[in-house]
Structure 1
Amino acid sequence: MPGPDYDEAYYAANGQLGDRPALRYYTRLVGRYVRPRRVLDVGCGTGHLLARMSARWPADGLELSAYSASVARTVSPSSTVWESPGELPAAAYDGLTAIHVFEHIPDDELTGLLAALRRASADDARLLVVVPDPAGRASRLHGAAWNGLTDPTHVNLKPHADWRELFGSHGLRVEREGSDGLWNFPYSRLPVPLDALRHGLPMAAQFLSGRMLLSPGAGESSFFVLSWA
């Protein structure tokens, strides 16, 4: 999340400079499993998920990159975008999202961030967390070419079970867990349309349903719905 590398070139290179269909899905997951009155998007980047959520609930962001925070304020003008965890108001949010954020943060820094998020959370808060799964099916199929390994800012790649253990050690209870499925085609030597039919139908069904249906390890990333124990 923090650091000088999170600039326009970074977001353009990974295809996350603008809005994208996955953010619609994440917004639906927030509505179904988090059900917030006020939500904080942790590591909000350029603010497109924040803008989608702010259309449904009061939504603020936390973003340590000055470039990203500036863009997010333009993209989601109704939101406050904090640039330091220490600025977060106490007990203000009953919903939090961290979508592909924690893999960018070493464990020692993540400990401080989680403590700050606990202080900013209402007692009944729920969190939606998404992280790459290096032990998932996508990683096994792609091997060394798996896209989770291609981003040098991914400094904290953990298998699903290890994230589960880390969250428990920081006072978080897993309410629900799952996976995104396979979407980064091809996973075989088949032409992409045929490979997508072979591997992508479970992902497509989950996406269209707006639910978490696929089991942990079934795709590219791990999904967690968490609450403070």
Structure 2
Amino acid sequence: MQSGYDHHAQDYERAFPAAFRGPWERHAVGAFAEHVVRSGLPGTVVDVGCGTGHVTAELAARGLPVVGVDPSESMLAIARASHPDVRFEPGDANPESWGAALEAEAPEAPVAAVLARYSLSHVPPERVPGILASWADRLPVGGAVLVAFQAVDGGRAVVSFDHAVAPAWRWSPEVVADHLTRAGFAEVWRTVSRSDAEHRFPECHLLAVKDAAGAPPVPVSRGCSVDGC
């Protein structure tokens, strides 16, 4: 994934020069930011797969302590040049790539929340449950995650699609919600928008919070149409 985005970083910035392509995206991220503020939890918001940093900068403008992480150095270079007052670091969806640095800076409360907009779409489906569990390990009780992804209508499918830069998958919102539940999160809300001139597929934003400490994940026995779900 990194090499693809490194090669297409300038094209990506020209294609997506702003943080959002529709009002529902702005409102979903705004609701996430408000939720984090109202939770009162200390720590940093991590924008996973921040790309050229426009959404990271939006969170910073709202007064949130935030760091954008991305595996593409070319994307990070654009982010740093465009938003010099915002922090950006190399890393991917796995907190092993960025968690140690945050823990060293604030060992008692390194991460307050995680935002992942269209970045889990590039993670092979069999790896997603482990990624979500690793976020739960680092978040405090009540810590929020907002995931956004290209969605599948109906059923419980996970479907690969022809992304221009890197391998990618569309997800049934129900499957994502079940993975979050297994990892120890509780869904708070979701939005699903329809495809249009700017969006090839339906898209889902889903907010969940880490359950009370020690609460066992709710078992989910329903299957889906790909291995690892």
TM-score range (shorter-chain normalised) is 0.5 to 0.7
The answer to whether structure 1 residue 151 and structure 2 residue 163 are counterparts is yes
For 2:153, the equivalent position in structure 1 comes to 135
Offset, 1:13: 5.5
Offset, 1:182: 4.2
2:171 aligned counterpart, secondary structure: coil
Offset, 1:100: 0.9
Offset, 1:99: 0.7
Residues 109 and 11 (structure 1), Cα distance of their counterparts in 2 relative to 1, 3 Å cut: farther
For 1:203, the equivalent position in structure 2 comes to none
Q: Which one of 142, 156, 161 corresponds to residue 174 of structure 2?
A: 161
Give the distance between the partners of 1:186 and 1:83, measured in 2 at CA.
28
| 8 Å contact kept, 1:181–1:220 | yes
Residue by residue over 1:89-120, the C-alpha shift from the partner in whole angstroms, topping out at 9 and shown as x without a partner, is: 24422222111111110134334433442344
Q: Which one of 54, 61, 64 corresponds to residue 60 of structure 2?
A: 54
Give the distance between the partners of 1:97 and 1:172, measured in 2 at CA.
14
Give the distance between the partners of 1:120 and 1:74, measured in 2 at CA.
30
Residues 181 and 33 (structure 1), Cα distance of their counterparts in 2 relative to 1, 3 Å cut: farther
The answer to whether structure 1 residue 12 and structure 2 residue 25 are counterparts is no
| Greater alpha carbon shift after TM alignment, 51-60 vs 13-22 | 13-22
Residue by residue over 1:160-184, the C-alpha shift from the partner in whole angstroms, topping out at 9 and shown as x without a partner, is: 1111122222222211112134432
Offset, 1:20: 4.2
Q: Which one of 118, 137, 150 corresponds to residue 100 of structure 1?
A: 118
Q: Which amino acid aligns with 1:74?
A: A
For 1:79, the equivalent position in structure 2 comes to 86
2:169 aligned counterpart, secondary structure: coil
Structure 1 unaligned segments of length 5 or more: list them. 137-147, 188-218
The answer to whether structure 1 residue 29 and structure 2 residue 31 are counterparts is yes
Q: Which amino acid aligns with 2:2?
A: G
For 1:63, the equivalent position in structure 2 comes to 70
**How many residues get paired?**
186
1:6 aligned counterpart, secondary structure: helix
Give the distance between the partners of 1:77 and 1:151, measured in 2 at CA.
30
Give the distance between the partners of 1:167 and 1:111, measured in 2 at CA.
8
TM-score by length of 2: 0.68
Give the distance between the partners of 2:118 and 2:199, measured in 1 at CA.
22
For 2:136, the equivalent position in structure 1 comes to 118
For 1:44, the equivalent position in structure 2 comes to 50
1:4 aligned counterpart, secondary structure: helix
| 8 Å contact kept, 1:41–1:98 | yes
| 8 Å contact kept, 1:94–1:123 | no
Offset, 1:159: 1.3
Residues 8 and 19 (structure 1), Cα distance of their counterparts in 2 relative to 1, 3 Å cut: farther
| 8 Å contact kept, 1:50–1:76 | no
Residues 8 and 24 (structure 1), Cα distance of their counterparts in 2 relative to 1, 3 Å cut: farther
